[in-house]
Amino acid sequence: MSLGEFDLIERYFNRVHHAADQGPRRAVVPNGDDCAVIAPAAGMQLAVSTDTMVEGRHFLSTVDPARLGHKALAVNLSDLAACGAKPLAFTLALTLPRVDERFLAGFASGLLALADEHDCELVGGDTTAGPLAIGITVMGEVPPGQALLRSGAQPGDELWVSGWPGEARLALEAFRGTLKPPLSGEAFEAARLRMEQPSPRVALGLALRGLASSAIDVSDGLLGDLGHVLKRSRVGAAIALGALPVSPWLASRPVAEQQDNVLAGGDDYELLFTAPAARHAEVLAAGQAAGVPVHRIGLVQAEAGLRLLDGGWGAEGPVGWPTANRWTSFDHFRSA
């Protein structure tokens, strides 16, 4: 006999009843009541964000359930990271076509393992029948006025990106069968892991508090997401194409494909941020402390718009011939 709604919540998502679990910590009233009541640390501000993932739109039906659980929370933690917020708690709105215990066990294990890694407590949710979709709302805390925003970039700031953007898109195109030449098996598995199990850059976001002047996480493509920062900050920027990080797996691909993936790949969950040039060494140290490489790719300028230069870093910033911007970012209501 299959589980009913309340049994499945109890078995997989109500951690208060898990013998191995320590029980509620942050929630004053935990998961299982009509509301969870949580107590943020005194004087802290609450940072809140929601992201939904829909089967066929954000993930393939064949994905491993544990990786899906991981990613559903990871994309939300990435938003907290971009704001420099420390994860506290989350809620889970789950829409399931049927009760599939193999799926639920895997999903819950991937989800709760990442939650534990970031000390982020599942405090409630909602469970309904329907096409498979996962909605998560995360809450984090940040000292008053210290949240990293999209609006703080200043002319003269350096533009940075963490990690290796472009790998998730490489895997997606491999799945779609569009890559010529095809990826090696080893490259495919590495890129696939980045697409299916991204690492939210939470530690980096925390290290950038009081250091970065603006930040955003790259979910829809680097240039598109940069556009949001430039618009909110009322500035422009120049990027040195030669300074873009190219992961070892991407490096073996044709140059045009490398650029497409890094600049407009999407699903990266890296942090794109700006910081005063005088604090260059501190940014490198922040990356090191967080265990994530950070790459300086451009310069914020007063003149509006984005300039792509095909060279590297000169005495005063990006140099080279201007390259037309042929990259657009992902938009659910515009793209196929």
Q: What is the C-alpha to C-alpha distance for residues 157 and 296, in angstroms, rounded to an integer?
A: 10
122 counts as binding ligand ADP under rule CB under 6 A = yes
Q: What is the C-alpha to C-alpha distance for residues 163 and 66, in angstroms, rounded to an integer?
A: 23
Residue showing the smallest CB distance to Mg ion in the complex: 126
User: Of 26, 32, 138, 329, which one interacts with ligand ADP (CB under 6 A)?
Assistant: 32
> How far, in Å, are 117, 123, 179, 251, 315 from residue 246 at the CA level?
28, 39, 17, 6, 23
127 counts as binding ligand ADP under rule CB under 6 A = yes
**Torsion angle of the four alpha carbons 138, 141, 146, 147, in this order, in degrees rounded to the nearest 10:** 0
Nearer to Mg ion, 126 or 189 (CB): 126
Stretch that binds ligand ADP, among 25-33, 152-160, 163-171, 244-252 (CB under 6 A): 25-33
State the minimum distance, in angstroms, from the CB of residue 52 to ligand ADP: 14
Query: Dihedral sign, CA of 164, 168, 173, 179?
Result: positive
DSSP 77: H
User: Of 7, 119, 126, 189, which one interacts with Mg ion (CB under 5 A)?
Assistant: 126
User: Of 81, 94, 136, 250, which one interacts with ligand ADP (CB under 6 A)?
Assistant: 94
Stretch that binds ligand ADP, among 28-36, 59-67, 139-147, 235-243 (CB under 6 A): 28-36
Burial class (CB in 10 A: 0-12, 13-18, 19+), 332: exposed
State the minimum distance, in angstroms, from the CB of residue 154 to Mg ion: 45
31 counts as binding ligand ADP under rule CB under 6 A = yes
Give SS3 for 190.
Answer: helix
Q: Contact positions toward Mg ion, by CB under 5 A?
A: 126
Q: Contact positions toward ligand ADP, by CB under 6 A?
A: 9, 13, 31-34, 92, 94, 122, 124-127
